[in-house]
Amino acid sequence: MSAHPTAFTDLIGCRVPLQLAGMPRTSVPDLVVAVANAGGLGMFGGARASAAQLERDLAAISRRTDGAIGVTFLAPFLDPALVAVASGRVRVVELCWGIPDRDLIARIHAGGSLASWQVGTVSEARAAEAAGCDIVVVQGLEAGGHVHGTTPLAELLAAARAAVSVPLVGADPADTVLTTTFSHGWPNALHRVLGDCVRAVANAPDPVGELIDDGARISPPRGATPSPTRTTRGMIAAMPQHAGLSVGAVHAIRPAAAVVADLFGTAD
């Protein structure tokens, strides 16, 4: 039973109305499991994954949690084979960027999953609902990482709420900047990061470091989009430190379950 019943929790079947942002290389299985076990919707960052790796990761996540999980893909880089792998294995398949696609939504539904689309404008919210999406994720310009819209969240959320009837999820809102500095591999895509990493790029080597991705060792060039993870080595300070305007509220490194409990008062 949901501790905070909403249209979102009723639809998803989770205990609290919270969704993890499904960022590639950041929303890793450990974090997905922690959020799902804490009662939220744990979203795995599936962008750019291979079909085989995605299948392995989702199987590993499912073995560790009975909570609600999903996968987020980036529409501009989507391999349709990944939708077939994810749909039916997870509760929600989410797309970011791009124009909501009715045929793609139909394929997600055919596999047995709910369809979600992340939007940055009211017109995109309407298009997502018209295409058959079950959920619309509203992203304001305060959000960390790649930012699709240019409207403050409060304003956009109010307008979207009046425009669509499906459940809405809003990304909550200094030392951050909106930039295109880390656009290698995704030209001219706006993203919000900590200002220090933008300043550090000028003195960074090329490549800037090394990380393990899908079992392979890769060397991201200076200004590349991947944010550092536990497998990353090199000049970490010059890699994209994705952060939203709410970063000032972060004062300690804490388990995901503790953060969810604080937000919704669900501690045992």
Residue 251: its pLDDT value, please?
66
pLDDT of 58 higher than 70? yes
pTM of the complete model: 0.71
Q: Which CATH architecture has domain 7-172?
A: Alpha-Beta Barrel (3.20)
Banded pLDDT at 71 (limits 50, 70, 90):
very high
Banded pLDDT at 47 (limits 50, 70, 90):
confident
pLDDT of 253 higher than 80? no
Q: Is the peptide bond prior to 207 cis by the omega test (within 30 degrees of 0)?
A: yes
**What are the residues whose beta carbons fall under 8 Å from the beta carbon of 58, sequence distance 6 or more?**
44, 69, 71, 85, 86, 89, 90
Domain ranges of the chain: 7-172, 177-238
**C-alpha separations of 261 from 3, 37, 66, 249, 267 in Å:** 11, 11, 18, 16, 5
The H-or-E segment that residue 32 falls in is helix 29-37
Question: 153-163 and 122-130 are packed helices; what angle lies between their axes, rounded to 10 degrees?
Answer: 40
Q: Which two tokens stand for residue 151?
A: 């409207």
pLDDT of 4 higher than 70? no
Alpha-carbon torsion 255, 120, 8, 22, what sign? negative
Q: Write down the H helix ranges in 49-208.
A: 51-64, 80-86, 102-111, 122-130, 153-163, 195-201
Q: What is the pLDDT of residues 127-163, one digit of tens each?
A: 999 999 999 988 766 565 666 666 657 777 777 888 8
Q: Which residues pair with 72 in a beta bridge?
A: 45, 94
Residue 147: its pLDDT value, please?
67
Mean pLDDT for all residues in the chain: 83
Q: What is the pLDDT of residues 180-223, one digit of tens each?
A: 888 888 888 877 877 777 777 888 888 888 887 777 888 888 88
Residue 216: its pLDDT value, please?
80
